[in-house]
Structure 1
């Protein structure tokens, strides 16, 4: 399966951003202040206000998103969102936390978990996040665009799930975050983990 560009207008927003403007092939997404996706764990609250632009995500495929990780405020974030339902989803990408960009994933099945690794060298750079769906798993990879993506996480995922996936943006702590989304593609799922 060759890589196919997914047009921005073929997706549906889970929650509309403040604005989304196409410019020279990129989609400039302005997040609403307080937008986020999280369920209960540790913090005790549920946030269900992310800006995720989703299209069907069948088994045997992968979704790739490229964006500029130019973040400056706590929890500014963007990446790939995979949704089965309001209580079962994954977000993977770059999040600004504790003063630095962090590569991470939140896997939610009733309650959220969170894994992070610092990537300070990605600040202001163009990043690629890829999620493959194959059999009973999602495989998350990420890296600088044009480079070799690294394995981030392997997540159990039921073969029967009807899922949608695509780019997402959140700004939990502020107004005015604009994230340039540069590419949204579908391709074959990764053949192997290593």
Structure 2
């Protein structure tokens, strides 16, 4: 996909992807893929073949927890990838508006979700200025399979557009653990947006570009 190609998701109030004990399990945020182009995007496949997923996005946050970014969902193969049931496990990473600032945000959900945040550094393509109505600038997230002497994991990075530097945000180690045959699991990659705040009017619009998913041959 050319870097200038874009698509948009609008998230209504009360939408989120979040699972917190003892009872909260919300998975109603809108997701999307780019329009079909000359080179079809393969957005789902066996977990054993997944190598990486990359996505850029920008939006103007207004409310606490406004968010946009990339979503990876994990399902057992017998379940249809198009099933309306929430995936049992998932990872989302992007930018989230928290306590007056847009921040880099990653949530990993194996049984219950856990959440980490990091500063969104100011640069020509990404602003960390606080306050409502401040555009985040284009931000790029990369989720990449990694193997080292200790095993296999997924690393989440923020990619600096000007230099290509991969800034590490989080290593997630449970994805390839206790799977039996990895071919029994499917990973799906989408863009996502959410506006968890319910007592507001209007939706959150997030613009995306450059969704790219790589698979082993």
TM-score, normalized by length of structure 2? Answer: 0.68
Shift of 1:133: 2.7
Question: Which of these two proteins has the greater Rg computed from alpha carbons?
Answer: 2
Query: CA deviation digits over 1:116-157, x for unaligned, max 9?
Result: 112262332100001113453111101443442301111121
Shift of 1:60: 4.5
CA 69–186 in structure 1, closer or farther in 2 if over 3 Å, else same: same
- Which structure exhibits the higher relative contact order, with contacts defined as CA atoms closer than 8 Å and separated by 6 or more residues? 2
Corresponding position: 1:38 with 2:28: no
* In structure 1, distance between residues paired with 2:117 and 2:140: 16
Report the equivalent of 2:142. 130
Query: CA deviation digits over 1:41-98, x for unaligned, max 9?
Result: 48x4211112233621553521110111432221111111110142211011110010
Report the equivalent of 1:70. 60
Q: Runs of 5+ in structure 2 lacking a partner?
A: 34-42, 76-86, 128-135
* Residue of 157, 162, 169 corresponding to 2:186: 162
Count of aligned pairs: 167
SS at match of 1:172: coil
* Kept after mapping to 1: 8 A contact 2:9/2:192: no
* Kept after mapping to 1: 8 A contact 2:91/2:106: yes
Q: Runs of 5+ in structure 1 lacking a partner?
A: 7-23, 190-194
Instruction: Decide which structure has greater strand share.
Output: 1
